[in-house]
Amino acid sequence: MTGKKSLGQRLLAAPHIVWSVLFIIAPLAVVAFYAMTDSSFSFTGSNFSQIFSDGTSSVFALSLAFAFFSTVICLLIAYPLAYFISRCKPRNAGMLIMLFMLPMWMNFLLRTYALSFLLEDTGPLNKLLELIGLGRATLINTSGAVILGMVYNFLPYMLLPIYSVMSKIDRSLIEAAEDLGCNRTNIMFKVIMPLSIPGVVSGITMVFVPSVSTFYISQQLGPTDFVLIGDVIETYFKSSAASSYHVGSAISLVLMVLIFICMAVMNRFSDGDTGGALV
């Protein structure tokens, strides 16, 4: 049974507590305060009613849909890829993981700009299509390009947690399933997939959260009239109107609540043991 923490242990935890208060709790409190007040800092609920009166609710739905589709695509790509890497020798697995991590060392904006260059009408991909006789295709300024940008930027966040869990699955469990007569399909669905659920839940959370709130990807790769909820929030905070910060904060607060709800639903599918996942 663990006793009370000593003074030294509490002091060691103090920097983390101070950091959490200053950079997590305090900013959230400021956002909540602005969301619930008007330009004269009087408490009001008009900021939230404005969300549903100017079409922002449809943008919320669109953002959730795009985040959902990009998360599903990342999962479909990352899961078999993580399984393949986990079956490789440790040296080869480390090399493959490093290759997927390399783009993450580059700034997010630069990665998205580089992808837009590849998808341009005169970009390398269209030149390749012309070279093989297929002609040019409209690759950029489309909804598909936005989803591609999300998948490209956030795929490693899905891959790493799943690989982390799969690489730590006890091989004796697979051997026991084989001894009991399970074929490869049964081993995958009855042993590996249930044990990898914590990594899947962690990966879904890490992809869905940034996808639903992104704004630069839609601006760089989407049509000119394409707007996600991140774009709406950015517009309000860039506006010079007196109430813009308050409405923007209200939208941010609603988005945060929706994200927490989605995370809570996802955590219901997990046993609470991340099994070595990254978060």
Q: What are residue 37's phi and psi, to 5 degrees? A: -130, 165
Decide if pLDDT at 3 tops 60. Answer: no
**Lookup result for tokens 């449809």:** 58
Nearest 10 degrees: Cα torsion 165, 170, 171, 172: -160
Q: How far apart are CA 9 and CA 104, in angstroms?
A: 35
Helix and strand numbers, DSSP H then E, in the chain: 14, 0
Angle between helices 56-86 and 143-166 (to 10 degrees): 40
Instruction: Compute the average pLDDT of residues 90-114.
Output: 90
Q: Is the pLDDT of residue 128 over 60?
A: yes
Q: What is the pLDDT of residues 241-276, one digit of tens each?
A: 878 899 999 999 998 888 888 778 777 766 554 444
Residue 177 phi/psi, 5° resolution? -65, -40
Whether the predicted pLDDT of 277 surpasses 60 = no
What pLDDT, in 10s, does the model give residues 194-212? 999 999 999 999 999 999 9
Tokens of 131: 């070279």
Average pLDDT in the chain: 87
Q: How far is CA 172 from the centre of its chain?
A: 33
Q: In terms of pLDDT, which residue wins out, 171 or 154?
A: 154
CB 143 within 8 Å of CB 222: yes
Residue pair 149/220 in contact (Cβ under 8 Å)? The answer is yes
Query: Rounded mean pLDDT of 151-160?
Result: 95
pTM of the model: 0.86
